[in-house]
């Protein structure tokens, strides 16, 4: 049935949905057109995640975590499988065998993948028109395997930050779980790995402000459904504060992946779709997606926002 749905997506034009944009503050009109509509580009996925725009391919890459696949979508060719497997190869013990999750590019165009199943951060070397094998970037802290790296962000100085919740395992009580902490980690350019934060039970999405002085971290927990902000000083997270607490929003979805545009506006997957905040943390409105949304990504000039919404890959046009 899934194959039929994917083939249908390839053969048809993008569908516009009836969902819209909830506008809570006029400031959102600086970012999204009044008549903007969500387009469904592809469907039939088990849980779509981790979109990233790849300029060299003129395409968006994203994962289907339960199916252990990584997909490519572009305007000319539509949907195709990019990597299979994407995150579980048998590299590490894992009964759940989940695929890749968060995706980013490094300055050389290499693809970095938070691999749930293999319990590591891995790299696929450029050029990505002919993707090769995985190489390990980080798989252990103090000799113990990570649970299941989830999302990641790269600082311009070469430092890599990533989250490690237990979603890729069978929860906190999985006997395969080696580390006690569900942490946020930093891998410096020189290769030094450190635990920079451990006070969240479900650390998830990560993003940096344009000046890279603020790191945002999501916590995907229905009882503490929020995004934190930290001052980033010499690789340390200081001045912890709640950027936005979504616990009182009565819509399906948890604080998850996010992206920050060039002006510092935060687009964060959460209750109801993609919540939009100004740099001060004011909730300007929400892109109301047809299903729970896990993550989002801009294209190169930030004129389009791609969203992974459960079984869908969707997009919406933005003002530049």
Name the residue ranges covered by the structural domains of the chain: 2-317
Place of tokens 């249908």: 8
* Residue-level pLDDT at 19: 64
Kindly give, in sequence order, each residue whose CB lies less than 8 Å from that of residue 217, ignoring residues fewer than 6 positions away.
163, 184, 197, 200, 203, 204, 205, 206, 227, 228, 229, 230
What is the pLDDT averaged over residues 241-265?
97
Model confidence pLDDT, tens digit, residues 266-291: 999 999 999 999 999 999 999 999 99
Q: Which two tokens stand for residue 83?
A: 């990597």
User: What CATH class is the domain 2-317?
Assistant: mainly beta
C-alpha 95: how far from its chain's center? 23
State the chain's maximal CA–CA distance in angstroms: 53
Q: Summarize pLDDT for 168-206 with one digit per residue, the tens.
A: 999 899 999 999 999 999 999 999 999 999 999 999 999
Q: Rounded to whole angstroms, what are the CA distances from 16 to 9, 40, 136, 186, 317?
A: 13, 6, 40, 40, 12
Q: What is the DSSP letter of 35?
A: T
Residue 14 has pLDDT above 90, yes or no: no
Instruction: Tell me the pLDDT tens digit for each residue of 140-156.
Output: 999 999 999 999 999 99
Given a cut of 80, whether residue 10 has pLDDT beyond it is no
Q: Is the pLDDT of residue 159 over 90?
A: yes
pLDDT band at residue 12 under the 50/70/90 scheme: very low
Token digits of residue 41: 């580009």
**Per-chain mean pLDDT for the chain:** 94
Collect contacts of 126-133 with beta carbons under 8 A, ≥24 apart. Answer: 126/56, 127/56, 128/54, 128/56, 128/57, 129/56, 129/57, 131/82, 131/83
**CA 148 → CA 49, 85, 121, distances in Å?**
14, 16, 9
User: In this predicted structure, what is the pLDDT of residue 141?
Assistant: 98
Among residues of the chain, what percentage have pLDDT more than 70? 95
pLDDT of residue 265: 98
């Amino acid at each position: 049935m899934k194959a039929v749905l994917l083939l249908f997506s390839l053969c048809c034009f993008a569908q516009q949905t009836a969902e819209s944009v909830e506008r809570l503050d006029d400031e959102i009109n600086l970012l999204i057109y009044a008549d903007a509509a969500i387009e469904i580009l592809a469907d039939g996925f088990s849980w779509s995640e981790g979109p990233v725009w790849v300029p060299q391919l003129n395409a968006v890459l994203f994962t289907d975590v339960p199916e252990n696949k990584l997909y490519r979508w572009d305007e000319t060719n539509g949907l195709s499988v990019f990597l299979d497997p994407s995150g579980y190869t048998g590299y590490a013990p894992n009964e759940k065998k989940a695929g890749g999750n968060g995706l980013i590019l490094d300055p050389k165009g290499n693809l970095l993948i938070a691999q749930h199943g293999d319990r590591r951060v891995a790299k696929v070397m450029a050029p990505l028109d002919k993707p090769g094998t995985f190489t390990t970037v980080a798989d252990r802290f103090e000799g113990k395997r990570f649970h299941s790296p989830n999302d990641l962000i790269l600082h311009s100085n070469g430092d890599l930050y990533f989250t490690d919740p237990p979603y890729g395992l069978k929860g906190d009580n999985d006997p395969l779980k080696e580390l006690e902490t569900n942490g946020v980690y930093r891998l410096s350019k020189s290769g030094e790995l450190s635990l920079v934060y451990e006070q969240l039970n479900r650390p998830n999405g990560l993003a940096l402000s344009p000046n890279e002085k603020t790191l945002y971290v999501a916590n995907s927990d229905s009882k503490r459904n929020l995004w934190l902000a930290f001052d980033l000083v010499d690789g340390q997270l200081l001045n912890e504060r709640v950027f936005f607490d979504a616990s009182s929003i009565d819509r399906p979805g948890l604080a998850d992946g996010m992206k920050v545009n060039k002006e510092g506006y935060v687009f964060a997957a959460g209750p109801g779709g993609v919540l939009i905040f100004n740099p001060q943390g004011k909730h300007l409105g929400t892109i109301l997606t047809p299903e729970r949304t896990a993550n989002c990504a801009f294209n190169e000039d930030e004129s389009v926002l791609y969203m992974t919404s459960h079984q869908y890959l969707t997009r919406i046009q933005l003002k530049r």
